[in-house]
Structure 1
Amino acid sequence: MNIVLKSTLRELNQVKLEEPKTLTIGRSPSNDIVVESGRVSAEHLKLFWRGGVPYAVDIGSSNGTFIGGDKLEINQPYQLKKREVVIMGSEDVMFEVASISGERGTQMFRTDDNKVYIIGRNPSSDIYIDTPVISSSHLKIEKRDNQWYFYDDGSTNGTYLNSQQNPVKSDELRRGEVIYLGNYKLQTNKILQFLEEQSSPESENLKLSKDIITMGRDPKSDIRIDHPSASFHHAKLTKTAKGYTIKDLGSTNGTYVNGVEVRRDTIVKQGDEISLGIHSFVLSMDASRKPVIKKKRTIDGDGFYIEAKNITVIRKDKETGGPITLLDDISFTVNPGEFVGLMGLSGAGKTTLLKVLNGYDKPTKGASYINNWELSSDTYDVLKTTIGYVPQDDILHPELSVQEALRYYAKLRLPSDTTTHEIDDKIDKILKKLGLDGTQGTLIGSPEKK
């Protein structure tokens, strides 16, 4: 087995790494490949094989190593894929993984015809789940004979199918089943939906060959975002002498660069993350050093999970005037597809906890997270479209029909440019999904409402 590198730099062009050899790259003469650049550290990068799979690891560089716009963590191995571009400190020092060859065994490395997807805790995973019960590389998925299969990648807490009493090492990925990674629950339908989206042409990197790139819900947009959290005309990228700038076009939910809201024309640099609604993109470079933009992640990627981390709420006691602890270091995770009941005596703190979880109140200590996005004042506008909260009291309008009530709430929550046709179409789909199709004309206050 071997990999071949391709680069505009003579030192990095047509370099071949055969298994099981290791290759070090850096400025120091002791490296296998010496690159004379001030942006490259003395000992910068190491390429190596593990179980028939090629990896890259940043061995403590000062200016970082970037793959696909993502910065590698120090001493954290990253599995190399064909045609990926590796940038060492600066765009002046980059190479492409031109080929990965060898017989395919159980190690399953990625090729164009046989891409392997990874589910794990490593941020470079195709489906990234940041929860301790999941291993760095927990599950691998590949397609053979037009059918998807999954394999446990030597995880610590195991993989189970349909029941936590049914451990499996590998199996066919079928619809309508449940896979447990440790005790983390994943619906196979969600995984298959992700795989289908990744296999479609829309998932490929978009080369920024135009001077103006439009982004939004409009089908004519250069980058179309088919989700109600995005406005019809949401944002645009414009090519300038300094690179690309992004401008928000008066969207309802805002445009963000690296988590900061765009309020004026903002320069977008290599590796910057652009968030529109719940969708995120990264500005990157291809092997020919041409700018490309790729879809990075969707907040609801494989379903929602909510996490409470060390939530503590201390308030002023109305009677004594002193501090009183309402919530004391609460931590838990609600995984996708789970239905959780919160029980306790009156005054136990149920409502207090729910209001902290949905961002209504701020905790004294700790935080709540939606798919690893901390719910804070900086992220609330992005996350609010994913949050639903039903209060204890009935706040429905009895004189409205189901259709009218849902249309009314949709106009309050969705972007202002969402058409009535789009809203009604969404209402029909939701009611059908809930098994309530045909109730659109039923009055909220009628005896049939239950």
Structure 2
Amino acid sequence: MPALTIKFKNKAVGNYQLQKGASLTIGRRDDNDVVIDDPSVSGHHAKIDSMGDRFVLIDLKSKNGSFVNEQLVDSHWLNHGDVITIGGHLLVLNFSEDELRRAKKTNDFDDTLVTNSTDHRRMMARSNPNKSINVVKFWDKSQNRGTVRDIDPQASKHPSKDRKTAGVLTWLAGGKGQVQLARKITTIGKDPSSDIVVKGILIDPTTATIRLESDGYYLDYISGLSKPKVNENTVKESTILKNLDIIEIGSAKLQFSDKTP
């Protein structure tokens, strides 16, 4: 599994081995897996999700943003050598030789959604240089923490620049209301930090994702015994969503609508 080295003032202060099928949360609050005691870091700042054989960094609507290789990102498929900046700390990702070989064969996704990074210096200036990191024991996120967060319809400050985002999911069963598909990557699973939380024994922490691309929204199956269905057809590969498609994952049923002009 990839190794994540956490650095402060050019000194390594913690190491993690990312776990397949689990999530790693990063933030200032004590319930995170990586706790960064820095006033410029949000309570729940970002997370790293396992999706198949890859890992993706997702900013959790943090106040000061998450940076990968000095670029502000909303979400980013992580690669060997990537440097994540959160507050005054650096998180460096390193793959083994076997993982590097696999990554070359599967690197087909758009790696990142880049947004304006002009506030980076101001953010770093606000960071308290005297604060260090409290490395908390990695918690297997497949264990439910007992609370399910509400879906915020304004789920992202940084929608794709390639198209106007107008995709919406309407709950038909298993939930109420609507979910605005404004993020580059919308995660679906039983992990409480997922954008769309679905309960069930056969549901993985991240069972599926919906990807926003220039030509539309794509549903991707990630892992788990309960595979998603579109119009009662099991999804086995990346599937572009069409207006009024019905998506089923476990006991959840949602209808997709796209009002993009």
TM-score, reference length from structure 1: 0.25
Q: Which has the higher contact order (CA 8 A, sep 6+)?
A: 2
TM-score, reference length from structure 2: 0.41
Name the one with the larger helix percent.
Answer: 1
Which has the higher Rg, Structure 1 or Structure 2? 1
